[in-house]
A and B are shown apart, each in its own frame.
Chain A
């Protein structure tokens, strides 16, 4: 893949602690490729993560990174985006982080439509805590916390995102990093919230949903598929057991982002305003506010 920027600028020296063969390596590589392809430099992007194996990703690349707490990268990212809309904000977290503990933030962000791209490393298991079932584990999935098999139905991120008003919904596979990089790049380019759910095999703790398991089921949405067709997207969003679609399931362009609709942001961001204020405090500009109390 020839990118506009050399992806090497994102390389970091930090010691990587992921298991050999982990799908997260491909996601890290794809994110670097996507940023490089869009000519976004390390200082222009902010990668916000939560907690989990995959949320260590910002530590493994050179980029502005904020590794937050479990389930909360979306609100942290939203605050950062509202404070400085010039930053390209990408959230990277796992299925437990995004769809479990952070589930409400996920739903609210879908309907909020900030210009943030969320890449979910969906391995259908809790890896960092060594193998418990996750929100996306299939019913009947046996783990240490579901020895008789998971009782709940699996969370369907595609359908929930669609129902919640997300404007860009895609699914990639860690076994196909170039395709994934293209999806991430399109997600970042999309003005508004973009979800890229990534099928990401956990080679250590998930012995069911392996690279082979996914390869047997995935197929690519082709040119005949119209991602602006909401009803078609609804049907594809429910495909799982035998056939799993990859690509952009749904995309609606031209809608205003959340930031577009905040009046106070149209004449400068909070970050730039405080910088201005520091140079020019002008206490007298607040004086008229006292009239409100007379």
Chain B
């Protein structure tokens, strides 16, 4: 069987937590990216530190990738369980490699034409280094099987072990080379999928949504972040904490999410661009304080990286089940803005844009992602994130000079046509301000006066009307007038987009309507977009079709069908295609 260089293939590394699946997977991704390939990598892990199945699903290709894809062509199984769990997701003609002797039932694999082989990875590791280097052996073997040039793996090994000294680097290199040779000899002709480096390809970054949000926020002037660790949001906060000190990022790991959000509110009140990051459980604790930001008109940015609920739910897995909660969270009525980036690039933009929205409308802004968006790695061209695009628009903040020239007494909550009142930051003699969580008059004094209450409610809610004019209508991907329109928000955009491509490539007709500004929903534009759909199918990673409900609530439009998934595992494009083929008969009506 002759090998063919493929332009789209998937490789999975599966094993127990603690076996280095994550570091091997990340290392492999980096090597592929450096070789000029596009990469999309899905991490799947459990809420435990040792033991329990983990996997890394790496898709590589010659064009930009927006989703993982099933099935996988090569499975590096570090445990027998990895084979058992993924046996149905291995392509015909694919291969399973595992180290040394595993007791597994090879029959079902051989029936599908999948080659199964044990490579003496542990033995190679022991021979050229030590047992701990079996992961390095696995990387070398993966390169050998696919005939992917070993020098890219070697480069990553050198970087990863740079701090451990030349001896460790040298042993690891030897282990990788030996495993590469063994694998190449064994599979040279037996494995048909080969990976070639792309000569002259541009340099690309490998980044996940959390990193992109952090980078965007920092470039957007965020200099204060307080948070309490919660998967899958934690790595945003860790990235801030590890940012080079010259950027002046102040981070505070708070005692709980209530303190975290309150610290961000305090910092923002004092004049910093401040944010907090959390997941649904932590957001639940922040709800009361979000109302404070709404009432006191303090800009606040919250990233809510959703995970499977309810309660502790599926701590490391993705779900889109907090949308209606976030839009409605808090007692009383106050303006808020909710956005949901659908790609890593959009995460970067969402990171800085959230501050402009928060400061312009002086209200809380929630950026919603999920565990998939937070951790899935994707290659980006260097100019995909452009710092020159970043705008810092602080809204109606009075400068020191403007305050100097003030002739009347400063009133923080002055009634204005737009609803936005000029904001003084504490510290100026003419800008002394009182800000209560109670209803208040223009000067910020507590009052329950009826006429004042009406004026103040109207003033605050006018901001929402102003914000609505700035909200983006859903973005259309694919041909206009398609037979089927996939409606989505957040991370499901990638799978929907690739599903539409697959359908159109096979002679069908599909497009995607991606909603990224979810509240306030630009109603007229949404109505128009929905009116153009021949058959609208809401694809959501939740049980209750929350986007579909939101659309019906705001526009009265009922989608034609819904496709839901709530097992915590992100949609693969193939699942969407196959569900559409089955007429989405089983979907819940919104």
Whether B445 contacts A79 by the Cβ 8 Å rule is no
Bound Cα distance A105, B262 (Å): 11
CB-nearest residue of chain A to B384? A290
Asked if B51 is at the interface of the complex by the 8 Å CB criterion, the answer is no
Whether A83 contacts B224 by the Cβ 8 Å rule is yes
CB-nearest residue of chain B to A58? B434
Whether A263 contacts B245 by the Cβ 8 Å rule is yes
Provide the residues of chain B in CB contact with A284, threshold 8 Å. 387
Provide the residues of chain B in CB contact with A41, threshold 8 Å. 429
Provide the residues of chain B in CB contact with A248, threshold 8 Å. none
Whether B437 contacts A68 by the Cβ 8 Å rule is yes
Whether A274 contacts B273 by the Cβ 8 Å rule is yes
Bound Cα distance A274, B258 (Å): 25
Bound Cα distance A210, B470 (Å): 58
Provide the residues of chain B in CB contact with A84, threshold 8 Å. 270-272, 425-427
Count of B interface residues, CB-CB < 8 Å: 74
Whether A104 contacts B292 by the Cβ 8 Å rule is no
Q: Which of B370-400 contact A (CB under 8 A)?
A: 380, 382, 385-388, 390, 392, 394
Mostly, the A contact residues are helix
Provide the residues of chain A in CB contact with B265, threshold 8 Å. 68, 76, 79
Q: Which of B261-284 contact A (CB under 8 A)?
A: 262-274
Whether B221 contacts A75 by the Cβ 8 Å rule is no
Binds B, one of A24-32, A42-50, A231-239: A42-50
Please tell me the size bucket of the interface on A: 35 or more
Asked if A171 is at the interface of the complex by the 8 Å CB criterion, the answer is no
Question: Most chain-B Cβ atoms within 10 A of its Cβ — which of A41, A79, A104, A265?
Answer: A79
Asked if A267 is at the interface of the complex by the 8 Å CB criterion, the answer is yes
Asked if A140 is at the interface of the complex by the 8 Å CB criterion, the answer is no
Asked if B259 is at the interface of the complex by the 8 Å CB criterion, the answer is yes
Question: Most chain-B Cβ atoms within 10 A of its Cβ — which of A46, A51, A270?
Answer: A270
Bound Cα distance A75, B254 (Å): 9
Binds B, one of A147-155, A179-187, A215-223, A275-283: A275-283
CB-nearest residue of chain B to A290? B205
Bound Cα distance A281, B215 (Å): 15
Asked if A211 is at the interface of the complex by the 8 Å CB criterion, the answer is no
Whether A64 contacts B256 by the Cβ 8 Å rule is no
Interface string of A74-92 (1 = CB under 8 A from B): 1111111111101100000
Asked if B139 is at the interface of the complex by the 8 Å CB criterion, the answer is no
Whether A293 contacts B211 by the Cβ 8 Å rule is yes
Bound Cα distance A277, B263 (Å): 22
CB-nearest residue of chain A to B394? A278
Bound Cα distance A174, B236 (Å): 47
Whether B426 contacts A281 by the Cβ 8 Å rule is no
CB-nearest residue of chain A to B298? A66
- With A283-B219, A286-B215, A290-B382 given, is the CB distance from A104 to B266 under 8 Å? no
- With A82-B267, A283-B387 given, is the CB distance from A42 to B432 under 8 Å? yes
List residues of A whose CB falls within 8 A of some B CB. 14, 41-44, 46, 48, 51, 56, 58-59, 62-69, 72, 74-84, 86-87, 104-105, 108, 262-265, 267-271, 273-275, 277-278, 281, 283-284, 286-287, 289-290, 293-294
Q: A78-B263, A83-B274, A270-B267 are in contact. List 14 more A-B contacts (CB 8 A).
A: A56-B446, A59-B434, A59-B446, A68-B292, A75-B263, A75-B266, A78-B252, A79-B262, A79-B269, A83-B250, A83-B272, A270-B271, A281-B390, A286-B219
Q: Can you report 9 A-B residue pairs in the complex whose CB atoms are below 8 A from each other?
A: A64-B426, A68-B437, A72-B289, A75-B266, A82-B266, A270-B274, A274-B221, A283-B386, A293-B207
